Amino acid sequence: MYGNSSVIIMGEAKRRKNLGIPPREKIEDIKLPQLDKKAIQQKVRSTLYKYPIIPFLFYGAAILILIGGLFYVFKSFYIA
């Protein structure tokens, strides 16, 4: 490819030094916020106590999706 094989092997720091470019600035590590499990658990529980129908809605939706998927599979096998 190139006449000088050291160009291929040369790292970014050496290349920057040879070109007269200053070293790349280091990026600070991103600190993720700490999750408070107890506060989240308390908020979920209070929401479920306030609206006790939510679990039934989730289970009903899951059962409907399962039945719809089974219907789709049986219908596709019947056509084939």
Q: Return the pLDDT at 14.
A: 87
Concatenate the DSSP letters of all residues of 34-60 into one string: PP-HHHHHHHHHHHHHH-TTHHHHHHH
- Confidence band, pLDDT 50/70/90 cuts, at residue 1: very low
Domain boundaries, the chain: 6-25+35-79
Instruction: Write down the pLDDT at residue 24.
Output: 84
pLDDT of residue 61: 97
Encode pLDDT of 30-75 as tens digits. 888 888 999 999 999 999 999 999 999 999 999 999 999 999 998 8
Q: Which residues contact 1 (CB under 8 A, 6 or more apart)?
A: 8
Say if residue 16's pLDDT is above 80: yes
Q: Which residues contact 54 (CB under 8 A, 6 or more apart)?
A: 47, 48
